[in-house]
Amino acid sequence: MPRDNYLDDDDDKKTPIARDLKFSEFDCPGCNANNPVDPPFGHKAQLMCNYCGMEWEARVRDDGKVDFKEM
Protein backbone atom coordinates (compact mmCIF):
# COMPACT_ATOMS: atom_id res chain seq x y z
CA MET A 1 0.00 0.00 0.00
CA PRO A 2 1.51 3.41 -0.98
CA ARG A 3 2.22 5.86 1.77
CA ASP A 4 0.25 9.12 1.64
CA ASN A 5 2.55 12.15 1.88
CA TYR A 6 -0.10 14.39 3.38
CA LEU A 7 -0.23 12.16 6.46
CA ASP A 8 3.50 12.54 7.09
CA ASP A 9 4.14 14.58 10.25
CA ASP A 10 7.88 15.09 9.64
CA ASP A 11 7.29 18.43 7.88
CA ASP A 12 5.71 19.91 11.02
CA LYS A 13 8.82 19.13 13.04
CA LYS A 14 11.12 20.92 10.57
CA THR A 15 9.13 24.18 10.38
CA PRO A 16 9.22 26.28 13.55
CA ILE A 17 6.03 27.97 14.62
CA ALA A 18 6.46 31.68 13.91
CA ARG A 19 5.37 32.70 17.40
CA ASP A 20 8.15 30.59 18.90
CA LEU A 21 10.85 32.55 17.06
CA LYS A 22 13.29 34.65 19.09
CA PHE A 23 15.00 37.87 18.00
CA SER A 24 18.18 39.43 19.37
CA GLU A 25 17.64 42.98 18.08
CA PHE A 26 14.97 45.33 16.77
CA ASP A 27 14.74 48.65 14.96
CA CYS A 28 12.60 51.09 16.93
CA PRO A 29 9.53 52.10 14.88
CA GLY A 30 9.59 55.52 16.56
CA CYS A 31 13.19 56.67 16.00
CA ASN A 32 14.55 53.90 13.75
CA ALA A 33 17.47 53.18 16.13
CA ASN A 34 18.84 49.63 16.26
CA ASN A 35 18.47 48.05 19.72
CA PRO A 36 20.31 44.86 20.68
CA VAL A 37 18.35 42.77 23.19
CA ASP A 38 19.69 40.20 25.65
CA PRO A 39 18.03 37.79 26.32
CA PRO A 40 16.31 37.41 22.94
CA PHE A 41 12.63 38.38 22.75
CA GLY A 42 9.63 36.72 21.17
CA HIS A 43 5.88 37.14 20.70
CA LYS A 44 4.14 39.52 23.16
CA ALA A 45 7.44 40.75 24.65
CA GLN A 46 7.50 44.27 26.05
CA LEU A 47 10.46 46.28 24.79
CA MET A 48 11.82 49.75 25.40
CA CYS A 49 13.99 51.67 22.96
CA ASN A 50 17.37 52.48 24.49
CA TYR A 51 17.53 55.77 22.56
CA CYS A 52 14.13 57.48 22.55
CA GLY A 53 12.55 55.62 25.50
CA MET A 54 9.35 54.58 23.71
CA GLU A 55 7.81 51.29 24.85
CA TRP A 56 6.59 48.65 22.41
CA GLU A 57 4.91 45.25 22.43
CA ALA A 58 6.38 42.85 19.87
CA ARG A 59 3.94 40.74 17.89
CA VAL A 60 5.32 38.01 15.64
CA ARG A 61 3.23 37.47 12.52
CA ASP A 62 2.61 34.08 10.91
CA ASP A 63 5.24 34.85 8.27
CA GLY A 64 7.91 35.33 10.97
CA LYS A 65 8.14 39.13 10.79
CA VAL A 66 7.71 41.34 13.84
CA ASP A 67 5.16 44.14 14.19
CA PHE A 68 5.27 46.58 17.10
CA LYS A 69 2.38 48.10 19.00
CA GLU A 70 3.03 51.25 21.03
CA MET A 71 2.26 50.83 24.70
Query: Is 55 within the bounds of a domain?
Result: yes
Domain at 24, CATH number: 2.20.28
Res 29: pLDDT: 97
Query: Is 36 within the bounds of a domain?
Result: yes
Query: Is 11 within the bounds of a domain?
Result: no
The DSSP code sequence of 7-49 is: G--HHHHHSPPGGG--EEEEE-TTT--EEEEEEEE-TT-EEE-
Number of domains in the chain: 1
pLDDT tens digits for the chain (71 residues)?
455 444 545 444 545 688 889 999 999 999 999 999 999 999 999 999 999 999 999 999 989 999 999 99
Chain mean position to CA 26? 10
Indicate the Cα dihedral angle 36, 37, 38, 44, nearest 10°. -160
Domain span at residue 34 reads: 17-70
Whether this prediction's pTM lies above 0.95 is answered by no
